[in-house]
Structure 1
Amino acid sequence: MAIEAAAALWFLPFVVPVCLYVAWSDLATMKIPNMANLALAGIFVAVGLLALPLEDYAWRLAQLGLVLLAGIVLNAAGAMGAGDAKFLAAAAPFVAPGDALTLMFLFSAVLLAAFVAHRAARATPLRRLAPDWESWTRGRDFPMGLALGPTLIAYLALGALHGA
């Protein structure tokens, strides 16, 4: 992995609560709040100055802009929700450019696990633990925050462990 363990360790404790909130919020309301996306971006802006060399920091901020632009286009085309697009943009600076392929494989695995777990819980009595969640009643819709948040957590955790 290209992310340095030290940078991953700096980011991880701040990112985990936001990503867990994103997963929970998307399950409960089928929305990823702007506040969560702004918090994630703010964490990078503040902690990234300590965790990364200045040149890397600047390139990573550029990633945020590029992913946001792509997300706006994909949202306009109906390919993804606006909250998902904004989360991807806010999460983009945490990912080392050399890790894009690794992240795609990791996301594929987390997405598959999240989808199976969500559909299984929705079809069983586990659903009664949170009977009012919007994601239970949305038919074919899936709360992508349930996969996006844990993917960023797993990426940073693996990065931290890789250097250990």
Structure 2
Amino acid sequence: MTIPASAAAWFLPFVLPICVYVAFTDMREMRIKNHAVAALAIVFVIIGLLALRPWSAGWSTGSVGPLSLSLPVYAWQLLHIPFVLLVGIVLNAAGAMGAGDAKFCAAASAFIWTADFMVVMVILMSTTLGAVASHRLAKYTPLRQIAPHWESWDRGKQFPMGLALAGSLIMYLILGIIYGS
């Protein structure tokens, strides 16, 4: 994995409680709260300064469309947010994704290194399958009585993707600590 293990170790303790909160509120209310998304972005902005040290790290060159730029890794990671948000807005307008999911993906994208994209897709597919199976199992068994008033139980085929998205980010950072560069 390309993510530096030290950066993943810096991010995980701050990201973990936010992701647990996102998964919980998405199951309970079928919405990802804006303050949770903002907190996730703020964690990257603040902790990223410590974990990635843009003032002392080398700059990398890359392209944004026809422009060739040389920026610190920290800045490149921040540039993920507007790009993923734009894609999320288009997917939301097409009805393929919820607005909260799109905003969460945008905030979470800063934590994900571009070279790890395929790893993240495998993690996302795995956590989505596990989350759907677990949620449906709980929905149709006596486990539902633990939280009988959750909105996600009664939404038909709709699924609280915050559960899978938050789990994916947590798993990516854990694997980044173990296998990161």
TM-score range, shorter chain: over 0.9
Matches within 5 A, 1:40-55: 40-54=40-54, 55=72
After superposing on structure 2, the runs of 4+ consecutive aligned residues of structure 1 that deviate more than 6 Å are none
| Structure 1: distance between partners of 2:84 and 2:42 | 16
Structure (1/2) with the larger helix percentage: 1
Structure 1: 5+ residue stretches without partners: none
Q: 1:116 aligns with which of 127, 133, 148?
A: 133
Deviations 1:54-101, CA, capped at 9 Å, x for gaps: 211100110011000100111111110000000000000000111011
In structure 2, the residue matched to 1:35 is 35
Greater Rg over alpha carbons, structure: 2
Instruction: Return the offset for 1:162.
Output: 1.6
Deviations 1:122-149, CA, capped at 9 Å, x for gaps: 0000000000000000000000001000
TM-score between both structures, scaled by the size of structure 2: 0.89
- Indicate whether 1:71 and 2:88 are aligned: yes
Deviates further, 154-163 or 26-35: 154-163
Deviates further, 52-61 or 27-36: 52-61
- Indicate whether 1:15 and 2:38 are aligned: no
| Matching residue's letter, 1:66 | F
In structure 1, the residue matched to 2:98 is 81
What's the RMSD between the two structures over aligned residues?
A: 1.0
| Structure 2: distance between partners of 1:119 and 1:99 | 30
| Structure 1: distance between partners of 2:53 and 2:176 | 17
| Structure 1: distance between partners of 2:52 and 2:9 | 12
Asked whether the equivalents of residues 124 and 164 of structure 2 are also in contact (C-alpha less than 8 Å), the reply is: yes
Between the two proteins, the alignment pairs up a number of residues equal to: 164
In structure 2, the residue matched to 1:95 is 112
| Structure 2: distance between partners of 1:163 and 1:97 | 13
Structure 2: 5+ residue stretches without partners: 55-71
TM-score between both structures, scaled by the size of structure 1: 0.98
SS at match of 2:103: helix
| Matching residue's letter, 2:122 | F
Instruction: Return the offset for 1:53.
Output: 4.4
Structure (1/2) with the larger strand percentage: 2
